[in-house]
């Protein structure tokens, strides 16, 4: 545009026209023409630079506003550049991305926004969600086609599935198909078969894990399992019954068969009546609401084809009541016999409700000079005890403690008080060592035979276990046969014993290390050695001295 003027005076005279202003006005936007491109789905995150057709402008092009994002109508004035090429940043998320541009001339006129590139990026795996189906055991070899829930994919779409069919529960395969249905081939062998799939989308992304969609169990024969049942490792098992004083027992279980065993059903315990996973040792709490007495525990097994074994049972006698002597009476006796034997009335073992208990199994026995002695001299399964030598003058006590088959231990009771008196031999007589009524003589206490005709002696004598000594006890017998060697202290308490087979015509030898029957070191002092045959007849006597 031009502004021109000429001057006119009052007399009407005019000057020439003169251009006083030239004004340039432009409201025409730059022209941006480009055929938009849409590229197919890809998992390439770095697309690389893209160049579009340059815009035209009658008065000079300044550059372009650029938008890159997932909005198909997106605009932005943040990114301005002079060049008609754009290198997008590396993508991290799946989606459809748009490159939109707007041309701008040097005086600020702008074109419309246009989309020059549509870029489809997919780095997300398809999603396969299906609840696996486990079918019961069957003898149908040809399973019919199975259809699983189709996978989904937010990007390029699901192309198909890799499919595995076989007996490996973690199996994989390169077999690929488009559909979400599979018709397995007819089976020829027993086993568990797994249909497993892996989804794949159109650009090659695969689902994160293989998914088992079907477990099919096929068998041609219905094999039953076998098993067994034992309680507490066989402890306290007497005549077909396990005796216990605890309401908790251990079931020792074993099973087998052609088909793997997976479950067991137990009765006789608290909170059962359901299938449980198999375990070789199972802790069971007995049903004790009915009190003490005989109880039955059973178990049966079930294998993978849901076949059950026979029922295996075991009898358990639950007993928590101690056996006891009812009003025990102590018998008193006075004698010059160096040995004694005694029989007593049996202890009773009744349950708390008055019913019969498990029964007395054996008696712990104390024989010695302590009125209240409780150290165990021996045990007996009947009501008679015969190993009762009296090595010195004194009052001896026979005490017994009943123990029932369930392991309950009763109270000690004194059953016999035995007053033994040592009698001096008559002048001029020699004792006969084979006669238990004869007292000891000095020859009985000599160290070593030494031609004195001793039949039991010890060396070294005295001996010191602390100093490394052992008592070598030597004895002779007139006939071959079993014998027992007893060591007593002077209070009449049995300290040690050993059984052996003795042979006539030779010196028989055993070793005593100075320990008592409980493995403790015996005290310093004099000890009596007694040699008895299988009929409890005293064959020889001697003394030895332990001195540490």
Do residues 139 and 55 share a domain? Answer: no
Lowest mean pLDDT among 17-26, 321-330, 426-435, 474-483: 426-435
User: What does the alpha-carbon distance between residue 219 and residue 391 come to, in Å, rounded to a whole number?
Assistant: 78
Query: Is 6 within 8 Å of 17 (Cβ atoms)?
Result: yes
429 within domain boundaries = no
Write down which residue in 291, 318, 345 finishes a domain.
Answer: 318
Mean pLDDT of 447-452: 43
Handedness of CA 213, 218, 222, 228 (dihedral sign): negative
Do residues 343 and 311 share a domain? Answer: no
Token readout for 261 is 């065993």
With a cut of 70, say whether residue 27 has pLDDT above it: yes
Do residues 534 and 463 share a domain? Answer: yes
Find the CATH number of the domain harbouring 69: 2.60.40.10
The 3 state secondary structure assigned to 381-424 is: CCCEEEEEECCCCEEEEEEEEEEECCCCECCCEEEEEEEECCCC
Query: How many other CB atoms are there within 10 angstroms of residue 265's CB atom?
Result: 17
| Owner of token pair 């941006």 | 32
Nearby residues of 288 by Cβ (< 8 Å), 6 or more positions away: 247, 318
With a cut of 70, say whether residue 438 has pLDDT above it: no
Range of the domain at 157: 133-218
Write down which residue in 152, 186, 218 finishes a domain.
Answer: 218
533 within domain boundaries = yes
User: What does the alpha-carbon distance between residue 30 and residue 374 come to, in Å, rounded to a whole number?
Assistant: 119
3-state DSSP assignment of residue 473:
strand
Name beta bridge partners: 412: none
Token readout for 267 is 């009765």
Name beta bridge partners: 219: none
User: What does the alpha-carbon distance between residue 353 and residue 349 come to, in Å, rounded to a whole number?
Assistant: 12
Do residues 176 and 199 share a domain? Answer: yes
Identify how many contiguous H helices and E strands the chain contains and give both numbers. 0, 39
pLDDT reported for residue 462: 85
Token readout for 410 is 């009763």
Do residues 475 and 506 share a domain? Answer: yes
Do residues 231 and 312 share a domain? Answer: yes
Q: Rounded to two decimals, what is the model's pTM? A: 0.46
Do residues 173 and 190 share a domain? Answer: yes
Q: Output phi, psi for 466, to 5 deg.
A: -65, -30
Lowest mean pLDDT among 7-11, 243-247, 290-294: 290-294
Domains in the chain, number: 5
Do residues 113 and 149 share a domain? Answer: no
25 within domain boundaries = no
Query: How many percent of the chain have pLDDT more than 90?
Result: 67
448 within domain boundaries = no
Nearby residues of 474 by Cβ (< 8 Å), 6 or more positions away: 449, 456, 457, 458, 459, 507, 508, 509
Spatial CA neighbour of 99 closest among 114, 78, 109 = 114
Find the CATH number of the domain harbouring 490: 2.60.40.4070
31 within domain boundaries = no
3-state helix, strand, coil in the chain (%, to 5): 0, 45, 50
Do residues 231 and 205 share a domain? Answer: no
Pairing between β-strand 37-38 and β-strand 114-121 as defined by DSSP bridges: parallel
DSSP H helical segments within 330-386, as ranges?
none
Do residues 191 and 257 share a domain? Answer: no
488 within domain boundaries = yes
**What secondary structure does DSSP assign to 4-61, as a single string?**
EE--B-TTS-B---EEEEE-----PPPB-----EEPPPB--S----EE-PPPB-TT-E
pLDDT reported for residue 336: 67
User: What does the alpha-carbon distance between residue 410 and residue 366 come to, in Å, rounded to a whole number?
Assistant: 14
Tens-place pLDDT, residues 223-250: 889 999 999 999 989 999 999 999 999 9
Mean pLDDT of 494-504: 91
254 within domain boundaries = yes
Write down which residue in 121, 145, 169 finishes a domain.
Answer: 121
Do residues 236 and 311 share a domain? Answer: yes
398 within domain boundaries = yes
With a cut of 60, say whether residue 450 has pLDDT above it: no
Do residues 303 and 350 share a domain? Answer: no
């Amino acid at each position: 545009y031009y502004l021109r003027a000429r001057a006119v005076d009052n007399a009407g005279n005019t000057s020439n026209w003169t251009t006083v202003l030239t004004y340039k006005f432009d409201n025409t936007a730059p022209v941006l023409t480009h055929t938009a491109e849409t590229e197919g789905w890809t998992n390439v995150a770095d697309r690389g630079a893209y160049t579009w057709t340059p815009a035209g402008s009658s008065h000079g092009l300044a550059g372009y506003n650029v938008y890159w994002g997932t909005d198909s109508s997106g605009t932005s004035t943040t990114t301005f550049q002079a060049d008609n090429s754009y290198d997008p940043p590396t993508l991290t998320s799946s989606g459809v991305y748009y490159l939109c541009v707007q041309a701008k001339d040097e005086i600020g006129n702008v074109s419309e926004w246009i989309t020059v590139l549509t870029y489809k990026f997919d780095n997300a795996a398809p999603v396969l969600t299906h609840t696996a189906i486990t079918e019961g055991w069957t003898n149908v070899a040809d399973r019919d086609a199975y259809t699983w829930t189709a996978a989904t994919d937010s990007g390029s779409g699901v192309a198909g599935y890799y499919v595995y069919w076989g007996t490996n529960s973690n199996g994989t395969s390169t077999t690929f198909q488009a559909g979400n249905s599979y018709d397995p081939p007819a089976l020829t062998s027993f086993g568990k078969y797994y249909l497993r799939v892996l989804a794949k989308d159109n650009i090659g992304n695969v689902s994160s894990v293989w998914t088992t969609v079907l477990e099919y169990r096929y068998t041609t024969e219905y094999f039953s399992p076998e098993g067994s049942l034992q309680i507490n490792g066989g402890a306290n098992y007497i005549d077909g019954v396990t005796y216990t004083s605890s309401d908790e027992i251990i079931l020792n279980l074993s099973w087998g068969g052609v088909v793997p065993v997976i479950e067991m059903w137990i009765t006789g315990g608290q909170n059962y009546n359901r299938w449980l996973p198999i375990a070789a040792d199972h802790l069971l709490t007995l049903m004790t609401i009915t009190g003490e007495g005989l109880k039955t525990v059973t178990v049966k097994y079930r294998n993978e084809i849901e076949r059950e074994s026979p029922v295996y049972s075991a009898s358990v006698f639950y007993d928590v009541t101690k056996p006891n002597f009812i009003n025990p009476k102590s018998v008193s006796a006075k004698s010059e016999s160096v040995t004694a034997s005694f029989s007593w009335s049996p202890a009773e073992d009744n349950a708390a409700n008055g019913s019969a208990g498990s029964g007395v199994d054996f008696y712990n026995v104390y024989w010695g000079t302590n009125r209240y002695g409780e150290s165990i001299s021996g045990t007996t399964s009947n009501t008679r005890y015969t190993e009762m030598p009296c090595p010195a003058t004194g009052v001896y006590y026979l005490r017994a403690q009943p123990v029932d088959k369930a392991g309950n231990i009763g109270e000690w009771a004194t059953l016999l008080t035995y007053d033994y008196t040592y009698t001096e031999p008559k002048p001029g007589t020699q004792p006969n060592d084979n006669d238990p009524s004869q007292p000891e003589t000095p020859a009985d206490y000599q160290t070593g035979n030494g031609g004195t005709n001793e039949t039991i002696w010890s060396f070294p004598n005295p001996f010191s276990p602390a100093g490394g000594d052992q008592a070598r006890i030597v004895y002779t017998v007139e006939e071959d046969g079993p014998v027992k060697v007893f060591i007593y202290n002077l209070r009449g308490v049995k300290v040690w014993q050993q059984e052996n087979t003795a042979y006539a015509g030779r010196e028989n030898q055993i070793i005593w290390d100075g320990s008592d029957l409980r493995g403790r070191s015996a005290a310093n002092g004099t000890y009596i050695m007694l040699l008895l045959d299988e009929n409890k007849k005293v064959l020889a006597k001697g003394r030895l001295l332990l001195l540490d």
